[in-house]
Amino acid sequence: MGAVIQFFRGVAERAVPDIRLTRSRDGRTGQALFVFEEPDALAPESMGDITGMFLVDEEGELVTREVKARFVNGKATALECTFTWKNTEDFERFMRFAQRYAEGHDLGFSGNQGEEEAEPQGQERGQQEEL
């Protein structure tokens, strides 16, 4: 089994997110912001309420409950999820998941002044703004 992202247990999300990492200066804490444009989880035939984002791989599962929908003209069009880590071990575990997910979805990593972002390889990048 490769690494998958799920919003409903047992159902892999097919939309590949834009992922932006931010870390504290000492590298111990930080967060990953996942943005899914038009994910399957928002389709009318989806399975119900989204209670979290589940990052699943051979080591187990990472979970975040920080999931928000972005709306355009009253219709949910994207999901924004934040996964936070509080120590180096959690960061390393997240990065192992991220590496497996990237390998399985043809993603590459690019850095920008302390931030890292996963994106499809070969895709042009725009200027990244500080949050």
Average pLDDT by stretches of 10, the chain with 131 residues = 91 94 91 96 85 96 96 93 96 95 82 48 34 31
In the chain the beta strands, taken as DSSP E runs, fall at: 4-8, 11-12, 18-23, 30-37, 53-57, 60-64, 67-72, 75-85, 107-112, 115-120
Give the three-class secondary structure for 121. coil
d(CA 58, CA 51): 22
Model pLDDT for residues 82-113, shown as the tens digit of each residue: 999 999 999 999 999 999 999 988 877 666 54
The strand order across the sheet containing 11-12 reads: 11-12, 4-8, 53-57, 60-64
pLDDT for the residue 1? 63
